[in-house]
A and B are shown apart, each in its own frame.
Chain A
């Protein structure tokens, strides 16, 4: 005799999500893409691993520095000025290479629009209605 047709019980997932919370990190494909773009020559696969490690260390150092700068100014918020100071210390921003020029060189228009008016106006507070 035929058994009544029954859908196979699908094992129900327990909990809301099975996804493990991942450590926040930049996609390796992004880091690779940027590095490859600037390297302008072939890069061995293992060399990318070194670049990723260096990037991790870079962000760790950057976080420490930004904390030190903002704390030094008596703030808990990292302001644009802290980043400008950081990039000055790194020798990226100089008198001959101002921040705005770097922004224009490295960023697409949509980001420039967000950054340049702020960079130009400095700390002036525009009264908001």
Chain B
């Protein structure tokens, strides 16, 4: 039976994440619909309709959906669930917020962070900060999954010609009110989708130093900027930059870790990168155990030299 994929978008563009979840959905069923909810859904639906393999696109907007209120998003999706046997949700902060609610509404278990689809009922997911991979088989008739986008290749963004239809959103949940948001704006690529990521750690010592050292290197490489928890906690970088078990999971072609020791929790978010570079003055730092190329040097000399070598 059919799969409903929940789109990830920024109000104007369908994110690459969605195309990756679509490829996980393809391994489950040939019948794939996409739900685009929230402000801008009409614009984004047109893009989703072009994605390879999509049968139908549903759209929905309401005050609660536009503010990404989990109660409203989950109620909308659970209301559509009768027509689907699997609901596949990108494992983003937003997806993790509402997905378990859908599962609870349907009285099924949640299967979080799917990295591989073995068959329609069997999935591989990471546990213990990615230090073990469990293969689970569900006995639930309906399945609610969050999908780790970095574990799947994107389907083609073009070629499809799905129909677009409006779905009716339920009334907004009365117990929760949106007050406001503070978004970090940046011209750099998004962390989750970037081909190159340059991350800074505690070694940077201050927000000024983080700006002065990490950002120019990232800009030179057209890279997104990431950070360790230590750097975020110390206020050198915003929380949204955190890479790791409890931050973002990235798998770029190139990951450069500057002044990051390589704690288990950090590695959980970047060890599937294709090529890992570590710049650290401590030759014993655990990051060197997983780095393809390690440079044992003070970042204060190594990064300027790297900038020069890049030309």
**Do chains A and B stick together as partners?**
no
Seen from chain B, the residues whose Cβ lies within 8 Å of a Cβ on chain A are none
